[in-house]
Amino acid sequence: MTRREALQTSGTALAGLALSQVAGLAQDPPAKPPRVALIGCGWYGKVDLFRLLQVTPAEVVSLCDVDQRMLADAADQVAARQASKKRPRTYGDYRKLLAEKDLDLVLIGTPDHWHALQMIEAVKSGADVYVQKPIGVDVVECEAMLAAARAAKRVVQVGLQRRSTPHLIEARNDVVKAGRLGTVSLVEIYSYYHMRARGNPPAQTPPDYLDWEMWTGPAPMRPYTSMVHPRGWRAFMEYGNGIVGDMAVHMFDMVRWMLDLGWPRRISSTAGTYQSDGLANISDTQTVTFDYGNLQILWQHRTWGAPPDPKYAWGATLYGDRGTLRASVQSYDFAPTRDGEAVHRDVAYELDKYPEDRTERDLERHVAPALRGHMRNLLDCMGTRGRPVSDIEEGAVSSASCILANVSAQLGRTLTWDAATRRVVGDDEANRLLRRSYRAPWVHPEV
């Protein structure tokens, strides 16, 4: 089951939520339409780009992908959707795209192992950036990306769009910030979707329309199989950080945002594959404890069996001494411990305002309003040169914390994290794992 299939459920509109409640919505369109490029023209790259086109008269001038079929299809779709009807320039190598140096904004929707190199080169070229989560595949990548963005003085928004989800903004403002939870000492975050790919397809010659050498890039070279591309790469640790890097990062970041949290003090994790088979090498079961001293955040994923609550198969539960908040991409529910009224809200789909959402191929419709808010916030900050709601620094904290969970699971011990030095305290072996090896001739970015 794909994530889109797992998340596709019905919901009702969030009534009465004024646009002013959604932080950072662009008040006016840019004086000049931004010149935009997309690197990585697969599923979510196009989803992000088309939400941008819904909220501003951007001109998409360049597209890049190593899959020529995917690239041509994206160019056709962009030409049909953007106001100018112009067909973008197309590239198979992102370095040639960035060498044009005529872009205001670059969207990066490639697999995780490419994010760091592409984002760093994009900000060096003078563009602002929207980069998907997690921002990198190792901790040093995350730090180097943050340093590059700050050195180049570029605005970088990370695709952690829970921070721009209308019903979750309401939950943060009207429940958490209003003090209705009281003191929160335990948070559970979780995913029970059956997302770990199964199957054992044979190695084969890559199709002639796919540049497999360039697709692999700095990652270890594996034989090509149909399970990896398109959209199957998350089943392999060579290209990402498993379900913790894909799903936990969203909910962990959401809780950090709701509770104003920085780095955890300690991170502990256990992981394994117990009920799955096939070629995939990510865990099917994992637990993580993010220790904040007087607050514990507990992650669990299980890609088998049934969820405890089917309404909240991927989400967060915040336990306070005055009430409990359950939150997901689909809804939130607040239940007071004693006095007060329970509150339920559902996602706002905005289909009347954006009817094209009804028919767009592969769109997660419930996420579209959050993505539009995220893009408006980015456009605002491109104008003011302020930091967006999912600034690269917030993305670095959330991404690196989840990466550290996998390091803990790999070593079988708790990691004590020094946020000032960005090092694991007293653990040389763990610190060596903060940086993955790159395949030649690609060179790992440094801080």
Q: Is residue 221 part of a domain?
A: no
Q: Is residue 245 part of a domain?
A: no
pLDDT value at residue 4: 42
The arithmetic mean of pLDDT across residues 218-242, rounded, is 96
Give CA–CA dist 82/169, Å, rounded.
30
pLDDT value at residue 32: 87
Q: Could you report the per-residue pLDDT of 344-359, keeping only the tens digit for each?
A: 999 999 999 999 999 9
Least confident of 24-28, 44-48, 282-286: 24-28
6 pLDDT band (50/70/90 cuts)?
A: very low
Q: Is residue 12 part of a domain?
A: no
Mean pLDDT, all residues of the chain:
93
Q: Is residue 136 part of a domain?
A: yes
The arithmetic mean of pLDDT across residues 245-271, rounded, is 98
Token pair listed for 327: 């939150």
The arithmetic mean of pLDDT across residues 281-301, rounded, is 98
Give CA–CA dist 417/420, Å, rounded.
9
pLDDT at 121 over 60: yes
Token pair listed for 381: 């900050």
38 pLDDT band (50/70/90 cuts)?
A: very high
30 pLDDT band (50/70/90 cuts)?
A: low
Give CA–CA dist 126/116, Å, rounded.
16
Domains held by the chain: number: 1
Q: Is residue 53 part of a domain?
A: yes
pLDDT value at residue 36: 98
Token pair listed for 185: 């000492």
pLDDT at 17 over 80: no
pLDDT at 13 over 90: no
- In the sheet with 343-346, reading across from the earlier edge strand, the strands are 343-346, 331-336, 323-327, 314-320, 184-191, 296-302, 285-291, 266-272, 415-418, 423-424
Q: Is residue 271 part of a domain?
A: no
Question: Percent of the chain at pLDDT above 70?
Answer: 93
Q: Could you report the per-residue pLDDT of 75-90, keeping only the tens digit for each?
A: 999 999 999 999 999 9
Q: Is residue 270 part of a domain?
A: no
Least confident of 13-27, 39-53, 196-210, 399-413: 13-27
Token pair listed for 330: 């689909």
- If we measure between CA atoms, which residue out of 110, 115, 105, 121 comes closest to residue 155? 105
Q: Could you report the per-residue pLDDT of 401-443, keeping only the tens digit for each?
A: 999 999 999 999 999 999 999 999 999 999 999 999 999 999 9
The arithmetic mean of pLDDT across residues 180-206, rounded, is 96
Count of residues in the chain: 447
The arithmetic mean of pLDDT across residues 366-384, rounded, is 98
pLDDT value at residue 1: 44
28 pLDDT band (50/70/90 cuts)?
A: low
29 pLDDT band (50/70/90 cuts)?
A: low
Give CA–CA dist 74/300, Å, rounded.
36
pLDDT value at residue 7: 40
Q: Could you report the per-residue pLDDT of 126-175, keeping only the tens digit for each?
A: 999 999 999 999 999 999 999 999 999 999 999 999 999 999 999 999 99
pLDDT at 203 over 60: yes
Q: Could you report the per-residue pLDDT of 313-354, keeping only the tens digit for each?
A: 999 999 999 999 999 999 999 999 998 999 999 999 999 999
pLDDT at 367 over 50: yes
Contacts 24+ apart (CB under 8 A), 42-46: 42/67, 42/70, 42/109, 42/230, 42/231, 43/4, 43/230, 43/231, 43/362, 44/109, 44/132, 44/159, 45/74, 45/107, 45/108, 45/109, 45/110, 45/132, 46/74, 46/77, 46/109, 46/362
Of 170 and 198, more confident: 170
Neighbours of 243 (CB within 10 A): 26
Give CA–CA dist 266/233, Å, rounded.
29
User: Which CATH number belongs to the domain containing residue 58 in this structure?
Assistant: 3.40.50.720
pLDDT at 11 over 60: no
The H or E element spanning position 184 is: strand 184-191
31 pLDDT band (50/70/90 cuts)?
A: confident
pTM for this predicted structure: 0.93
3 pLDDT band (50/70/90 cuts)?
A: very low
Range of the domain at 155: 18-162
Q: Is residue 213 part of a domain?
A: no
